[in-house]
């Protein structure tokens, strides 16, 4: 009750303060000019002062813990004397009227009948005086002033080590920050108020043990907290506890203290960071390495975050970072053997692994070691990344989520991620925003990421003033209320402090936090690059800039924390380590990319990294299993759960299908998932609206129609001890979510991770993940990945936007050779082909085949990405059904479904063999039947487009010796599969026949927006497909 009352008072006071600040008329000194005053460069002295010592006389009135409460009541009373209890009204009237201490108080009368009239009779001791207004206004002004520093102090913090640019790209000083005494006028105060003592509100910690301070001291302490080498941005956070936590961390006098031991560790880490780059520069002066010079403090910063997190229970840190300083992070944070890094500079090194590898500053790493500070085990993993800046962000998140999931870390207490960013990329790349939006979603949260920005105030050659419209490069983080700690990187202790706070924030609140290391780049973009072409002034200053190691060493020597010989000894010790490793690196003749794996899969491969077999068992299931899954899929497996009437009908239809021993698309998917769950395989299906399914066919999450948010996932009620099923509607992001799922799939081979696009064409906003990770991932980084992409595809007359999942793009990126016929006699040809390919591309025409290919994905002894073009109209097509018979033990995924009708009985008489894939099959068979051409035309479906089933197609082609061969597709000629299939078909039959085309003409758009045109085009392609003279004119 009391708390509620106090809260009400506080709210009221806040309102009062804001209004007071707004309503106060501007004084003469507050002309427009004051709002854009230039920041006085030398107005402040920024020597670090870490303790606050000024003695302050406390006011006799209002002291102790109750003072804030009383103060708030007082202000409320000033606003409206009736808003407080009568006894307080009398008290305040007496106090303000000048009653001496001790006499203002009159005991409140007991609250009994009659007490109100007694109160009313109580008289003030003296009448009110007019100076009350000034007193109150001044107190309010000081509170506003404190708040102004908390909100805007960072704008004047000295963050740029070069002293050239303002980190917020704005040189003006906010009008409410006291950069000179005349600015006190903004608050209605003047110089004479500086020595007056003001009571401090509960929302500040600058007082330490004191509850009141002279104004002069208040301003000094605020400057110390907010305007030195740390700029704290946090007042946009809508959570009082979190704000108080941050205020306490930065305002408490003397809080930023380091022991001599900590200072020495920091120096040693700076030595390693600096000397590592110098060593590389000495040995390979003309090699690109994207050195860290100008931000050497990054290494101790990361180590501090890791130390602190380890102390708080974290034992696995997953990191993602761009090029800058990556080798240094590998060497000095992850502790990759130095010789392994150095040998990468040897161009004569031969690759031992399959694949094309990647440059040294993109490779990943996984390492388990003891954290020396905490003496606890810690595993560090740096995720391999492409050049595409920030693309690895969601991947790191997904991998982190998976590692948390598999070790039961539901709150992110054991596994965490750290993401590093460049300033230009952090501000410019939209994926940063998309990734932030995953950070608090139940199925995607990793319970807080620590972001570290290497803010060297330049992006390649571009000045930040040309590269972003936001004040800071970090503003994107504000969308998730992440606190942002800007820090001048030439102050290593300030950097360590904010890193420590960032790690504590993450372990306290489990939310994202940003450390913005404002630094510089000593060299060009890379070591070969001339920065003076474009940044002459900046680089003149940089040439004069003393390296941070030297500065800090001098500071510690002057403080007597180390002496010069000790410092030099530390340097030569590390140089020796580098030299010895360099000598050893010369013995390395072979490069094993597998030593650079970011996610090992223990036990999945043989010790030398090979699959345990080269075969795939049957993907069929017993009748019992099929029936059981079917029954659960068509029921509500919990009591008293009311589902929607429409859904009841859907489930009833499902039940009938099961009784008839058949499956449609949704049931086929159920069977595949449900059976894998039984086998201990975790399944995760993620994407926009996947729970119900965009086309309302799936319904994996049932919603109780009577109880809000009560849901049931029947898939999780299938078997005792089954693996968990995760199905999650995602945020509306393809790039972020696909990257996330790819990362999730990296963590374990024993999971089926699927991402479904709402419509297949939307995958193009995730193109970077497809082009840079999924397609070439194994070739570049050796790591296999079994992610499945479900891409709804098909020409249904819905216009250009929802028709094509762009099969041509995926097929163009397949690594199989169109002109070379593989050795078809090879044992396990199909599996070997799968093993060699970069990804598998399928377009199933039956639910049964969809079921088999999903199961095969896990039953294969290796992992490859699987791209599935999934249907829309076939989800409900009465012919698109599969009998249980085709899903029983012994059955397999059919790469090709050959013609099995009358044409196949007399193949010699067949005039045309139509080859197709996907749903056009149903249009073709309907048309063939209508034209009574079932004996003249054979229709064979290619279900697995890539790797291309050369072996099975050879059999098909040979089976129909007199038949013309035509590829039929509903997609336009320059799209779809034609360009992929045609050369391969010709290779299959040694170019013995032409491969004709029946389909739409080339076009720029994937489909027409006009339904009638769509139907006309369809009819035209069917006419061509069944006109046996259609190609005569060409032959």
Ligand X SMILES: Cc1ncc(C[n+]2csc(CCOP(=O)(O)OP(=O)(O)O)c2C)c(N)n1
Contact residues for ligand X, defined by CB under 6 A: 324, 387-389, 422-425, 454, 456, 458-460, 521, 525
Query: Tokens in use for 853?
Result: 């290919």
Distance of alpha carbon 498 from alpha carbon 485, whole angstroms:
7
Q: Which does 320 bind (CB under 5 to 8 A by kind): Mg ion, ligand X, none?
A: none
Contacted entry of ligand X, Mg ion, none for residue 343, CB cut-off 5 to 8 Å set by kind: none
* x/- letters, 419..448, toward Mg ion (CB under 5 A): ---xxx------------------------
| Minimum separation from the CB atom of position 647 to Mg ion (A) | 53
The site partner of 772 among Mg ion, ligand X, none (C-beta below 5 to 8 Å per kind) is none
Nearer to ligand X, 412 or 422 (CB): 422
> Which is it for strands 995-1000 and 964-972: parallel, antiparallel or unpaired?
parallel
Closer by beta carbon to ligand X, 379 or else 461: 461
858: partner contacted, choices Mg ion, ligand X, none (Cβ within 5-8 A by kind): none
* Residue 986 CB contacts under 8 Å (≥ 6 apart), including other chains: 995
Q: Decide whether 108 or 428 has the Cβ nearer to Mg ion.
A: 428
Phi-psi region of 290 (alpha: psi -120 to 50; beta: other; left: phi over 0): left
CB nearer Mg ion, residue 144 or residue 456: 456
Shortest approach of Mg ion to residue 542 CB, angstroms?
Answer: 13
- Give the sign of the dihedral formed by CA 258, CA 259, CA 263, CA 269: negative
Total number of residues that touch Mg ion (CB under 5 A): 5
Residue given tokens 């950097």 in the structure block: 495
Residue 519 or 658 with smaller CB distance to Mg ion = 519
Min CB(386)–ligand X separation in Å: 8
What's the per-residue H, E or C state across 813-824?
CCCCCCCCCCCC
Q: Smallest gap, in angstroms, from Cβ of residue 521 to ligand X?
A: 6
Query: Which of Mg ion, ligand X, none does residue 829 bind to, with CB < 5 to 8 Å depending on kind?
Result: none
Pick 251 or 423: Cβ nearer ligand X = 423
Residue 826 in 3-state DSSP?
Answer: coil
DSSP structure string for 694-729: TTS----SEE-SSSTT-EE-GGGGSSTTPPPEEEEE
Which of Mg ion, ligand X, none does 425 bind, CB closer than 5 to 8 A by kind? ligand X
To the nearest whole angstrom, how small is the minimum distance from the Cβ of residue 815 to ligand X? 24
| 407/532 with CB nearer ligand X | 532
Return the closest-CA partner of residue 467 out of 482, 449, 479, 455: 455
Q: Are 251 and 172 in contact (CB under 8 A)?
A: no
Whose Cβ is closer to ligand X: residue 454's or residue 788's? 454
Mention every residue, 6+ apart, whose C-beta is less than 8 A from residue 1026. Answer: 927, 928, 931, 933, 937
The angle that helices 847-859 and 665-678 make with each other, rounded to 10 degrees, is: 20
Report the nearest approach of ligand X to the CB of residue 406 (Å): 31
Instruction: Give the nearest distance from C-beta 516 to ligand X in angstroms.
Output: 12
Kind and range of the H or E run holding 657: helix 645-659
CA dihedral over 993, 995, 996, 998, signed as positive or negative = positive
Residue with smaller CB distance to Mg ion, 459 or 947: 459
Nearer CB in complex with ligand X: 389/397: 389
Site for Mg ion in 450-469 (CB under 5 A): 456, 459
Token pair listed for 480: 């998730």
Least Å from the CB of residue 336 to Mg ion: 24
Work out the angle at residue 266's Cα, subtended by the Cα atoms of residues 262 and 270, and round it to the nearest 5 degrees: 170
We find the least distance from the C-beta atom of residue 362 to ligand X, in angstroms, to be: 11
CA distance 269 to 264: 9
H/E element, 225: helix 215-226
User: In angstroms, rounded to a whole number, what is the distance separating the alpha carbons of residues 200 and 213?
Assistant: 7
388 binds, among Mg ion, ligand X, none (CB under 5 to 8 A by kind): ligand X
Query: Among all chains, which residue has been given the structure tokens 């297949």?
Result: 760
Cβ at position 425, least distance to ligand X in Å: 3
Helix or strand or coil: residue 81? helix
Of all residues in the shown chain, the one whose CB is closest to ligand X is 422
- Shorter beta-carbon distance to ligand X: residue 519 or 681: 519
Crossing angle of the two packed helices 623-633 and 645-659, in degrees rounded to 10: 170
| Residue number, 422 or 760, with CB nearest to ligand X | 422
Residue 327 binds which entry of Mg ion, ligand X, none, with Cβ cut-offs from 5 to 8 Å by kind? none
Query: Around Cβ 353, how many Cβ atoms within 10 Å?
Result: 18
Query: Least separation, in Å, of the C-beta of 455 and ligand X?
Result: 8
- Least distance to ligand X from the beta carbon of 287, Å? 17
Shortest CB 148 distance to ligand X, Å: 31
Q: Is the peptide bond before 111 cis (omega within 30 degrees of 0)?
A: no
Q: Which does 506 bind (CB under 5 to 8 A by kind): Mg ion, ligand X, none?
A: none
Give the residue among 915, 980, 987, 989 at the shortest CA–CA distance from 955. Answer: 989
Instruction: Give residue for tokens 């419509």.
Output: 759
962-979 as b/e, with b when 16 or more CB fall inside 10 Å? ebbbbbbbbbbeebbbbe
- State the helix-helix crossing angle for 132-152 and 2-23, rounded to 10 degrees: 90
Residue placing its CB nearer to ligand X in the complex, 263 or 324: 324
Site string for Mg ion, 369-408 (x = CB under 5 A): ----------------------------------------
Q: Compute the least distance from the CB of residue 236 to Mg ion, in Å.
A: 24
Q: How far apart are CA 520 and CA 499, in angstroms?
A: 19
CA–CA dist 752, 855 (Å, integer)? 9
Closer residue to ligand X, CB minimum distance, 389 or 953:
389
- CB-based contact 104:125 (threshold 8 Å): yes
Residues at the interface with Mg ion (CB under 5 A): 422-424, 456, 459
């Amino acid at each position: 009750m009391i708390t509620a009352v106090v809260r009400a008072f506080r709210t009221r006071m806040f309102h009062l303060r804001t209004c007071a600040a707004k309503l106060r008329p501007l004084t003469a000194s507050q002309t427009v000019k004051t709002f854009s005053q230039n920041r006085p460069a030398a107005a402040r002295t920024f020597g670090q002062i870490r303790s606050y010592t000024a003695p302050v006389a406390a006011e006799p009135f209002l002291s102790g813990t109750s003072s804030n409460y009383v103060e708030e009541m007082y202000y409320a009373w000033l606003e409206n004397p009736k808003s407080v209890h009568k006894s307080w009204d009398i008290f305040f009237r007496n106090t303000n009227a000048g009653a001496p201490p001790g006499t203002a108080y009159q005991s409140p009368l007991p609250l009994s009948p009659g007490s109100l009239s007694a109160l009313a009779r109580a008289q003030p001791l003296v009448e009110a005086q007019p100076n009350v207004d000034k007193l109150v206004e001044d107190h309010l002004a000081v509170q506003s002033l404190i708040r102004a520093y908390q909100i805007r102090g960072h704008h004047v913090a000295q963050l740029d080590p070069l002293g050239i640019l303002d980190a917020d790209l704005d040189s003006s000083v906010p009008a409410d920050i006291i950069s000179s005494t005349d600015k006190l006028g903004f608050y209605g105060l003047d110089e004479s108020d500086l020595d007056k003592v003001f009571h401090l509100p509960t929302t500040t910690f600058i007082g330490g043990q004191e509850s009141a301070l002279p104004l002069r001291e208040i301003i000094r302490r605020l400057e110390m907290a907010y305007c030195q080498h740390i700029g704290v941005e946090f007042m946009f956070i809508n959570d009082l506890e979190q704000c108080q936590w941050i205020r306490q961390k930065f305002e408490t006098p003397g809080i930023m203290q380091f022991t001599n031991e900590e200072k020495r560790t920091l120096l040693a880490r700076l030595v390693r960071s600096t000397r590592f780059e110098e060593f590389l520069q000495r040995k390979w002066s003309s090699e690109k390495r994207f050195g860290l010079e100008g931000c050497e403090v990054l290494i101790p910063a990361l180590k501090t975050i890791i130390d602190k997190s380890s102390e708080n229970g974290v034992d696995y840190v997953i990191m993602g970072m761009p090029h800058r300083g990556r080798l240094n992070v590998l060497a000095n944070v992850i502790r990759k053997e130095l010789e392994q890094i150095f040998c990468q500079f040897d161009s004569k090194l031969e690759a031992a692994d399959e694949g094309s590898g990647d440059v040294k500053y993109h490779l990943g790493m996984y390492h388990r070691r003891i954290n020396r500070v905490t003496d606890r085990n810690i595993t560090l993993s740096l995720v391999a990344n492409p050049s595409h800046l920030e693309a690895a962000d969601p991947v790191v998140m997904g991998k982190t989520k998976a590692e948390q999931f598999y070790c039961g870390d539901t709150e992110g207490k054991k596994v965490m991620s750290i993401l590093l960013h460049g300033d230009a990329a952090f501000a410019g790349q939209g994926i940063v925003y998309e990734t932030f939006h995953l950070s608090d979603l139940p199925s995607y949260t990793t319970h807080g990421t620590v972001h570290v920005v290497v803010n060297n105030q330049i992006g390649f050659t571009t000045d930040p003033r040309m590269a972003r419209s936001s004040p800071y490069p970090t503003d994107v983080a504000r969308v998730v209320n992440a606190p942002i700690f800007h820090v001048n990187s030439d102050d290593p202790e300030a950097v360590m402090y904010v890193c420590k706070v960032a790690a504590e924030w993450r372990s306290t609140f489990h939310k994202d936090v940003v450390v913005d290391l404002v630094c510089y780049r000593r060299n060009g973009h890379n070591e070969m690059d001339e920065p003076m072409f474009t940044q002459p002034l900046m680089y003149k200053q940089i040439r004069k800039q003393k390296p941070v190691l030297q500065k800090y060493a001098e500071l510690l020597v002057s403080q007597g924390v180390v002496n010069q010989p000790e410092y030099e000894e530390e340097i030569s010790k590390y140089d020796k380590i580098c030299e010895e490793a360099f000598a050893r690196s010369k013995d390395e003749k072979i490069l094993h990319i597998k030593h650079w794996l970011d996610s090992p899969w223990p036990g999945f491969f043989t010790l030398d990294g090979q699959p345990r077999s080269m075969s795939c068992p049957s993907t069929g299931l017993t009748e019992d299993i099929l029936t059981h899954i079917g029954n659960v899929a068509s029921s509500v497996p919990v009591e008293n759960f009311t589902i929607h009437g429409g859904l009841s009908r859907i489930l009833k239809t499902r039940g009938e299908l099961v009784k008839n021993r058949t499956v449609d698309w949704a049931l086929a998917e159920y069977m595949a998932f449900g059976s894998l769950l039984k086998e201990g395989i975790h399944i995760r299906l993620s994407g926009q609206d996947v729970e119900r399914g965009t086309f309302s066919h799936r319904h994996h999450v049932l919603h109780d129609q009577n109880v809000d948010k009560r849901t049931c996932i029947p898939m999780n009620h299938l078997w005792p001890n089954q693996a968990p099923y995760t199905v999650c509607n995602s945020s509306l992001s393809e790039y972020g979510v696909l990257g996330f799922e790819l990362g999730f799939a990296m963590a374990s081979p024993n999971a089926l991770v699927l991402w479904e696009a709402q419509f297949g064409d939307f995958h193009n906003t995730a193109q970077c993940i497809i082009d840079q990770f999924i397609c070439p991932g194994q070739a570049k980084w050796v790591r296999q990945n079994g992610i499945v992409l479900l891409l709804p595809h098909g020409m249904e007359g819905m216009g250009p936007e929802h028709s094509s999942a762009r099969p041509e793009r995926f097929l163009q990126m397949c690594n199989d050779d169109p002109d070379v016929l593989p050795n078809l006699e090879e044992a396990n040809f199909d599996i070997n082909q799968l093993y060699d390919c970069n990804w598998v591309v399928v377009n199933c025409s039956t639910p049964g085949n969809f079921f088999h290919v999903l199961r095969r994905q896990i039953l294969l002894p290796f992992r490859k990405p699987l791209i599935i073009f999934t249907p829309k109209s076939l989800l409900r097509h009465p012919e698109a059904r599969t009998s249980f018979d085709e899903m029983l033990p012994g059955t397999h995924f059919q790469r090709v479904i050959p013609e099995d009708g009358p044409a196949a009985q007399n193949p010699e008489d067949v005039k045309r063999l139509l080859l197709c894939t996907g749903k056009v099959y149903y249009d073709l068979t309907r048309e063939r039947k209508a034209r009574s051409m079932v004996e003249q035309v054979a229709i064979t479906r290619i279900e697995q487009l890539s790797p291309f089933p050369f072996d099975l197609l050879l059999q098909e082609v040979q089976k129909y010796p007199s038949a013309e061969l035509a590829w039929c597709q509903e997609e336009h000629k320059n799209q779809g599969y034609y360009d992929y299939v045609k050369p391969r078909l010709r290779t299959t039959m040694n170019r013995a026949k032409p491969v004709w085309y029946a389909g739409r003409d080339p076009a720029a758009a994937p489909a027409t927006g006009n339904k009638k045109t769509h139907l006309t085009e369809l009819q035209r392609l069917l006419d061509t497909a069944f006109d046996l003279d259609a190609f005569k004119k060409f032959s």
